[in-house]
Amino acid sequence: MGASGIVSAVLLNPQMTYESSSNKWKILFLTSFCLTARIMGYAKNLVPFEIPLGTSSSGIDIFVGFSRSVTNLSFVLAGFFTGFGTQLSNGCTSGHGICGMARLSSRSIVACCTFMATGFITASFLRNNDLLRNDIPMLVPNSLTETLGVMLVSLLVSLTIRLFCEEASFNSIVESDEGGAREIDPLLTHTTEAKERIELSNIEGRHGMNKKNTLKMAPFVLASGSLFAVGLNMSQMIDIRKVLGFLDLQSLETWDPTLVFVMFGGVIVSGIGYQYVEGFQLFKVPVGMAAKLSISGNDFQVPKNAAWTSSRSLTCDETEVASPLMNTKLMVGASLFGFGWGIGGVCPGPAIYLATVGYPQILYLYMPLYAIGAHVAQMKYTQSFLG
């Protein structure tokens, strides 16, 4: 699961994400990610966006890689096409790139090649387009946008605390029932307590999973979200100039290839992790160390390749449906994501980071249009039109 899947789930279906036992971890991940970004923002541990390396003889600032800023229109278009494309193709640079390529997913490899090519072409073609590029520095966080970022983090933290309380309460009731503390008298099933116990039992059976799973995996999810935020900062993926300097191939003299190492470094580390997941090992691992796959949430969940219509993890209520390896949704979605990425130089993970820190154009322009694009992509008309 990549950043786009997590962000879209929380933005478009917050209630379902919160109530679904197989999706609650997304709230934990996003909370940890945004909290870490906000703390790093307070610590001023941000990549400098508009600080030049020096000044030329003509008095013009000199930057490494891409030397122009993106306009407000760029953020609007980038937000919409990125949201639409990632929702349609079920992945972005982290989902298809880091996670998908690491497990040698054919769909993810095709998607990566598609959005990388589209991103390169778009960024290179738009270098001198004054409608989407200018020399005005990107707006920096102000007191209002920083406050909005704090409010976002506070909301996520409160949801996480509530989630922990509910899970702990549920587990205590289930443990009491499992321990045989009390039997429910069939003649008393009309009582409130009996109905609550029956409902809890039905929920557990319906989801087919251990409810303790959310609490057990919480430390790992929280650590993962925090590390993701730190990694984006250290790799400079949150620096729009850096990203566009990588995507713009119009001048090889100013091309910045360093993000290649970010992508492949992440794929290598993720690939090592997949060696401990049953069915994805390229090398033998000690017996008992490989995690078992499951669609019920008890074990390690991995999206499927061509055998499934969606690249997201399935719940026990969903069924297998065969689909072609390269279908219309994957190709169109990946292309539009690459188009949006090439326009604005921002993908979902860095966008959430920058919005949390309080960058106005990301907060006011990119993210709202991202949500609209993702919503349009999941509409029945769009899905039926693209087959």
Least confident of 78-92, 118-132, 262-276, 317-331: 317-331
Query: Hey, where are the domains in the chain?
Result: 3-48+64-175+210-295+326-384
CA atoms within 13 A on the CB side of 252: 0
Question: Does residue 337 carry a pLDDT above 80?
Answer: yes
Q: How far is the C-alpha of 114 from the C-alpha of 97, rounded, in Å?
A: 11
**What does the DSSP 8-state code read for residue 185?**
P
Strand segments (E) across the chain? 54-55, 61-62, 69-70, 133-134
Say if residue 375 is exposed, middle or buried (CB neighbours under 10 Å; 0-12, 13-18, 19+): middle
Tokens 């719940």 belong to which residue? 315
* pLDDT score at 23: 83
Least confident of 75-89, 152-166, 235-249, 274-288: 274-288
Highest mean pLDDT among 63-72, 257-266, 343-352: 343-352
SS3 call for 320: coil
CA 142 to chain centre: 26
* pLDDT score at 286: 64
> Percent helix, strand and coil across the chain, each rounded to 5?
60, 5, 35
pLDDT tens profile 273-291: 888 777 776 767 665 555 5
pLDDT mean over 256-260:
86
pLDDT mean over 83-102:
90
Q: How far is the C-alpha of 364 from the C-alpha of 100, rounded, in Å?
A: 31
Q: How far is the C-alpha of 259 from the C-alpha of 254, rounded, in Å?
A: 14
* pLDDT score at 114: 95
Question: Does residue 91 carry a pLDDT above 80?
Answer: yes
Tokens 């969903």 belong to which residue? 318
Tokens 């690491």 belong to which residue? 102
Tokens 């991995």 belong to which residue? 302
pLDDT tens profile 18-69: 887 778 889 999 999 999 999 988 776 454 444 444 443 434 333 444 557 8
β-strand 133-134 against 69-70: which pairing, if any? antiparallel
Question: Does residue 73 carry a pLDDT above 60?
Answer: yes
pLDDT mean over 203-218:
56
Least confident of 86-100, 147-161, 312-326: 312-326
Structure tokens at 216: 């057990």
Q: How far is the C-alpha of 68 from the C-alpha of 241, rounded, in Å?
A: 8
Tokens 């990946």 belong to which residue? 334
Structure tokens at 222: 């929280």
The pTM (predicted TM-score) of the whole model is 0.79
Least confident of 73-87, 155-169, 310-324: 310-324
* C-beta of residue 202 within 8 angstroms of C-beta of residue 292: no
* C-beta of residue 121 within 8 angstroms of C-beta of residue 342: yes
* pLDDT score at 313: 40
Least confident of 3-12, 80-89, 278-287: 278-287
